[in-house]
Amino acid sequence: MEQCTSCNIEVTQDYTTFKCPKCGKAKIIRCNRCKSTSKPYKCPECNFIGP
């Protein structure tokens, strides 16, 4: 089960995953709600914070 990186809810569908734009290692997962509200996320690998 995957969890949103921003709010930690479990995501099943309607979510986005991408690699951290800074380190390129961590997988960022954002639920649809955090995506639409542009909630910030924090990379677990390098602590990069970004929208």
49 binds Zn ion (CB under 5 A): no
28 binds Zn ion (CB under 5 A): no
Smallest gap, in angstroms, from Cβ of residue 25 to Zn ion? 6
What string of DSSP letters covers 1-51? -EE-TTT--EE-SSEEEEE-TTTS-SEEEEEHHHHHTT--EE-TTT--EE-
7 binds Zn ion (CB under 5 A): yes
Q: Which of 14, 31, 37, 49 binds Zn ion (CB under 5 A)?
A: 31
Tokens of 22: 């800074």
Q: Which of 17, 23, 28, 49 binds Zn ion (CB under 5 A)?
A: 23
